[in-house]
């Protein structure tokens, strides 16, 4: 699971109001190399919940001096974009779980795949 | 008419004698009226003994003992289930003796009650029908007075032409004297000492376990060794062997059976049944998929009679003596049912040699046998591969389970989808993925039309074939099948496992969503609608969704879809080949279910109860005959074994010709306009396009405004 995906995921446990972001508890993390596409990354940034991304990076120990708030004119900052590219698309959680911040319900991540299925009645 | 008789008659009759005579006369009338037995007043060698029959609990032995007092008995006929018997004495004198002195005698019968027997003379005893052959005076029966043609004419004239309904098979009158094919009864297979050892080894001392077993089975008591036999599905938990194997005391007997060639492998399952007098077991065939061919059943402590029935109505009763072994093989194991009628007595033949054999119609040789408590030890070998016997009509491996019905309640819908969608895709994921590689052109166009930087969610992404189409777009897929999502990840895409009715993505987080060949797997209108609502929830305002579902109308504008066009004629399309068509592609044609048309609709019984229509199996590559179907998938290759599929492959029906497992996927195919109609009922949605594409109904939607879930419900009710 990449952090770009994590940024979109939320807890859908019944009755939960504050289910975002899901807490990442990773036991195995991989960093891949992916071709850098500055345009793609800068287009992604406005779609993100920036604070959730920073939080996720922290949980994985991959903060890498990313600013806690978005800097203006980030589209021109290649250095910045490369950092975002890395954290967003190259860091991958292989094993671990995602935890609902309100209910504590854990969703397992196995072989890079989060299983978000709820049981009947949840 | 003889003077000696007159002399006897001259003796003064006492009050009791008069009473006796009255009774006798009454009985004579009854015999004539109900049984057609004609009694005569003059002495003959033959007597009918009223109240002295097998049918009223009088055994042959006890009757014979009394009859001998009259004189030498030449023959005694005891028709089963009749309250009388016929005795023939060696001379008229002996017969008269019996008549005089035994009339009105009390006899002990089986139930510790006593009956009073009465004698009447009869002219002749017909041992075949136990009916005397004298016709009433003046009576004649002329046979073959009309030819069969004249018979039909006359019947037609009075409007009684026979048709199939009138034909009844009176299976009681059929008299097969042969054992069912494959059946053997081996007598004295264990000595009395071994019998005691075995009884001790299976130990009937009651303890708490037995209480629960007894509760479950209201009748006979049962115990299992090796594997637990389950009475809810008449099968065995093959993955849960019981800790102890078969008792060691059984080894000697089983080794002997092996040595004598009755079995080729040692059994690994034992069921011990205790049948008390009055207990039995209903007729059944031992589940084909649970056990291998030969089944051995050892009878201890008492004998019994086991009834075997063939599907065509033939019935054979087999005596199983104490310490005998029943060997059921082939047809007798796979096709004939066997059962024990719950009774306290059996009618058995009296044979010099032993006590086994079939029932005969020889009425001169029958008696009653009171049931004792019998312990049966049934030895079976667990089957680990599907059954491929020659009797598919009785075979659960080769025969499909009864078709499910269209669900109404949410719970039933979930269960149906779990069995006929989720579990199936998990099992077939690799093979399925190999047949899904080319994107539908119009879906590709939709994806390529998305602005760069869009966020796309593919809800029901399968193997992820649409996730990489547009590299400018951030694509994430989700599917119910973990195995399929795994394939997405292996291909470098992003995905997670989720249900389409509850997607864990934030509302309004997607610029576009696609749902290609997904919603047709939901089994109720409510669930299909909920799936559309979920897609809309994910979209931001102005976002677009594309939905594809299978169309009932596979032909549109006189053009057959690829699905119909590529009709195979027996040869299968192997997964090795490059497959040209997409979603609708499945492999071999299957036998068509003829009952389909009659129960497509809901039917209502006389009490106003509506039964849901059945979901029938569809024949691949033919037009859809109803909207709710099971579509076969013939699995090729066993790559799925590593994927941790949960269902045991031995319980999946197998295609007889190819021996490959057949899976059934549930589909609700959409009629023209149905998808659109459904989308209209969802709040905040505008239909941009609707079209037919290669056997699919398709809609492109736009989210026009934000709605809360409450709005959706209100909208639906309008």
Average pLDDT score over residue span B445-449: 97
Any residues with CB less than 8 A from the CB of B176 and at least 6 apart, and which? B314, B315, B316, B358
B223, B231 in Cβ contact below 8 A?
no
Instruction: Indicate whether A104 pLDDT > 70.
Output: yes
The three-state DSSP-derived secondary structure of B619-682 is CCCCCCCCCEEEEEEECCCCHHHHHCCCCCHHHCCECCCCCCEEEEEEEECECCCHHHHHHHCC
CB contact under 8 A, B476 and A5: yes
B683, B539 in Cβ contact below 8 A?
no
Strands (E), B267-373: 269-275, 281-284, 295-300, 304-309, 315-320, 325-328, 337-340, 345-349, 357-358, 366-370
The DSSP result for B437-450, as a single string, is -SPPHHHHHHHHTS
Distance from CA of B519 to the nearest CA of A (A): 18
> In the structure, what pLDDT confidence band is assigned to residue B165 with cuts at 50, 70 and 90?
very low
Q: How long, in residues, is chain B?
A: 718
B67, B85 in Cβ contact below 8 A?
no
Q: pLDDT per residue over B198-228, tens digit each?
A: 988 888 544 444 444 444 455 678 889 999 8
> To the nearest whole number, what is the mean pLDDT of chain B?
80
Query: Residue written as tokens 């013939």?
Result: B634
> In the structure, what pLDDT confidence band is assigned to residue B363 with cuts at 50, 70 and 90?
low
CB contact under 8 A, B494 and A113: no
> In the structure, what pLDDT confidence band is assigned to residue B357 with cuts at 50, 70 and 90?
low
The SS3 assignment for B457 reads strand
CB contact under 8 A, A113 and B485: yes
Query: Residue written as tokens 């014979």?
Result: B64
Q: Residue B554 and residue B696: Cα distance in Å, rounded?
A: 8
Q: Residue B292 and residue B313: Cα distance in Å, rounded?
A: 25
Instruction: Indicate whether B440 pLDDT > 60.
Output: yes
Segment of A71-80, A89-98, B615-624 carrying the highest mean pLDDT: A89-98
Q: Residue A69 and residue A71: Cα distance in Å, rounded?
A: 6
Residues of B in contact with A12 (CB under 8 A): 502-504
CB contact under 8 A, A113 and B497: yes
Residue B566: alpha-carbon gap to chain centroid: 37
Query: Residue written as tokens 């291909």?
Result: B491
pLDDT reported for residue B145 = 76
Instruction: Indicate whether B312 pLDDT > 80.
Output: yes
Q: Residue B585 and residue B589: Cα distance in Å, rounded?
A: 12
B498, B504 in Cβ contact below 8 A?
yes
Residues of B in contact with A47 (CB under 8 A): 453, 455, 474, 509
Lowest mean pLDDT among A25-39, B52-66, B172-186, B397-411: B172-186
B409 touches chain A (CB under 8 A): no
Distance from CA of A65 to the nearest CA of B (A): 25
Lowest mean pLDDT among B28-37, B92-101, B261-270: B28-37
Instruction: Indicate whether B461 pLDDT > 80.
Output: yes
Instruction: Indicate whether B584 pLDDT > 50.
Output: no
Query: A with B: how many residue pairs have Cβ under 8 Å apart?
Result: 66
B283, B261 in Cβ contact below 8 A?
no
Any residues with CB less than 8 A from the CB of B55 and at least 6 apart, and which? B79, B80, B81, B82, B83, B84
Q: Residue B657 and residue B137: Cα distance in Å, rounded?
A: 69
pLDDT reported for residue B219 = 64
**Higher confidence at residue B155 or residue B387?**
B387
Residue B470: alpha-carbon gap to chain centroid: 53
Instruction: Indicate whether B680 pLDDT > 60.
Output: yes
Residues of A in contact with B503 (CB under 8 A): 12
B494 touches chain A (CB under 8 A): yes
pLDDT reported for residue A5 = 95
Average pLDDT score over residue span B254-276: 93
The SS3 assignment for A95 reads strand
B256 CB-contact burial (10 Å; exposed 0-12 / middle 13-18 / buried 19+): middle
pLDDT reported for residue B716 = 36
Q: Which pTM does this prediction carry?
A: 0.53
User: What angle is formed at CA B193 by the lines to CA B189 and CA B195, rounded to 5 degrees?
Assistant: 55
B502 touches chain A (CB under 8 A): yes
Average pLDDT score over residue span B173-183: 70
Residue closest to A8 by CA, chosen among B511, B467, B487: B511
Both tokens of residue B687?
Answer: 């239909």
Sign of the dihedral defined by the CA atoms of residues B340, B341, B345, B349, in that order: negative
pLDDT reported for residue B548 = 97
Both tokens of residue B286?
Answer: 């031992």
Any residues with CB less than 8 A from the CB of B665 and at least 6 apart, and which? B420, B421, B424, B425, B521, B630, B631, B633
Instruction: Choose the closest CB to A118 out of B496, B502, B505.
Output: B502
Q: Cα–Cα distances in Å, from A68 out to A86, B148, B422?
A: 16, 104, 42
Q: pLDDT per residue over B518-546, tens digit each?
A: 999 999 999 999 999 999 999 999 999 99
A22, A107 in Cβ contact below 8 A?
yes
B306, B318 in Cβ contact below 8 A?
yes
> To the nearest whole number, what is the mean pLDDT of chain A?
92
CB contact under 8 A, A1 and B496: yes
Q: How long, in residues, is chain A?
A: 122
Residues of A in contact with B498 (CB under 8 A): 116-117
Average pLDDT score over residue span B137-164: 68
CB contact under 8 A, A43 and B452: yes
Instruction: Choose the closest CB to B506 out of A10, A116, A117.
Output: A10
């Amino acid at each position: 699971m990449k952090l770009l995906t994590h940024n979109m995921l939320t807890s859908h446990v019944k009755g939960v109001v504050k289910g975002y972001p899901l807490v990442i508890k990773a036991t195995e993390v991989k960093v891949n190399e992916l071709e850098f596409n500055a345009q793609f990354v800068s287009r992604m940034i406005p779609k993100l919940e920036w604070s959730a991304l920073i939080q996720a990076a922290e949980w994985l120990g991959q903060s890498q001096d990313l600013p806690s708030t978005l800097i203006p004119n980030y589209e021109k900052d290649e250095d910045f974009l490369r950092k975002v590219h890395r954290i967003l698309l190259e860091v991958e959680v292989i094993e671990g779980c995602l935890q609902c911040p309100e209910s504590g319900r854990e969703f397992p991540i196995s072989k890079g795949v989060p299983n978000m299925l709820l049981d009947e009645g949840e | 008419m003889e003077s000696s008789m007159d002399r006897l008659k001259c003796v003064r009759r006492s009050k009791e004698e008069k009473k006796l005579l009255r009774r006798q006369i009454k009985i004579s009338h009854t015999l004539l009226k109900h049984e057609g037995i004609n009694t005569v007043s003059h002495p003959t060698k033959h007597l009918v003994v009223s109240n002295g029959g097998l049918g009223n609990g009088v055994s042959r032995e006890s009757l014979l003992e009394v009859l001998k007092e009259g004189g030498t008995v030449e023959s005694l006929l005891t028709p089963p289930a009749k309250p009388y018997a016929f005795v023939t004495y060696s001379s008229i004198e002996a017969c008269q003796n019996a008549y005089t002195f035994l009339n009105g005698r009390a006899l002990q019968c089986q139930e510790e009650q006593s009956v009073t027997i009465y004698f009447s003379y009869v002219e002749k005893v017909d041992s075949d029908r136990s009916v005397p052959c004298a016709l009433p005076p003046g009576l004649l029966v002329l046979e073959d007075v009309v030819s069969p043609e004249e018979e039909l004419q006359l019947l037609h004239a009075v409007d009684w032409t026979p048709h199939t309904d009138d034909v009844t098979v009176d299976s009681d009158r059929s008299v097969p004297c042969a054992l069912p094919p494959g059946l053997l009864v081996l007598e004295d297979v264990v000595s009395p000492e071994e019998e005691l050892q075995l009884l001790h080894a299976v130990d009937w001392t009651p303890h708490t376990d037995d209480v629960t077993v007894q509760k479950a089975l209201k009748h006979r008591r049962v115990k299992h060794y090796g594997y637990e036999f389950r009475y809810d599905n008449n099968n065995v938990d093959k993955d849960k062997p019981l800790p102890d194997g078969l008792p060691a005391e059984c080894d000697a007997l089983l080794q002997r059976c092996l040595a004598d060639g009755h079995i080729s492998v040692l059994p690994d399952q034992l069921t011990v049944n205790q049948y008390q007098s009055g207990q039995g077991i209903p007729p059944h065939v031992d589940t084909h998929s649970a056990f291998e061919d030969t089944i051995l059943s050892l009878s201890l402590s008492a004998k019994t009679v086991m009834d075997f029935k063939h599907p065509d109505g033939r019935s054979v009763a087999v005596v199983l003596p104490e310490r005998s072994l029943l060997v059921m093989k082939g047809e007798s194991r796979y096709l004939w049912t066997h059962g024990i009628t719950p009774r306290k007595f059996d009618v058995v033949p009296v044979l010099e040699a032993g006590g086994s054999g079939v029932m005969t119609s020889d009425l001169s040789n029958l008696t009653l046998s009171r049931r004792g408590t019998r312990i049966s030890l049934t030895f079976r070998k667990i089957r680990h591969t599907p059954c491929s016997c020659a009797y598919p009509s009785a075979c659960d491996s080769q025969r499909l389970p009864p078709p499910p019905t269209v669900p109404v309640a949410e719970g039933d819908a979930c269960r149906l989808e779990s069995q006929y969608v989720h579990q199936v895709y998990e099992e077939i994921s690799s093979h399925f993925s190999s047949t899904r590689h080319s994107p539908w052109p119009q879906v590709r166009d939709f994806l390529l039309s998305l602005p760069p930087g869009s966020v796309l969610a593919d809800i029901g992404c399968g193997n992820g074939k649409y996730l990489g189409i547009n590299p400018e777009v951030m694509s994430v897929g989700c599917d119910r099948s973990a195995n399929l999502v795994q394939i997405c990840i292996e291909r470098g895409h992003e995905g997670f496992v989720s249900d389409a009715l509850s997607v864990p993505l934030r509302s309004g987080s997607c610029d576009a969503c696609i749902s290609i060949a997904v919603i047709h797997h939901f089994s109720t209108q409510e669930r299909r609608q909920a799936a559309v609502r979920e897609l809309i929830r994910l979209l931001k305002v102005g976002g677009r969704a594309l939905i594809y579902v299978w169309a009932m109308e596979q032909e549109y504008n006189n053009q057959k879809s690829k699905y119909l066009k590529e009709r195979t004629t027996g040869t299968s399309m192997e997964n090795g080949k490059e497959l040209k068509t997409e979603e609708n592609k499945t492999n071999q044609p299957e036998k068509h279910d003829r009952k389909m048309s009659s129960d497509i609709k809901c039917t209502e019984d006389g009490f106003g109860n509506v039964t849901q229509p059945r979901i029938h199996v569809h024949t691949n590559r033919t037009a859809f005959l109803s909207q709710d179907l099971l579509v076969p998938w013939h699995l090729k290759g066993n790559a799925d074994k590593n994927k941790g599929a949960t269902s045991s492959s031995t319980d999946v029906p197998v295609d007889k010709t190819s021996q490959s497992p057949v899976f059934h996927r549930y589909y609700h195919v959409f009629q023209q306009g149905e998808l659109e109609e459904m989308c209209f009922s969802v709040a905040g949605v505008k239909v941009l396009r609707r079209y037919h594409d290669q056997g699919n109904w398709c809609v492109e939607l736009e989210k026009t405004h934000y709605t809360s879930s409450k709005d959706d419900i209100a909208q639906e009710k309008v």
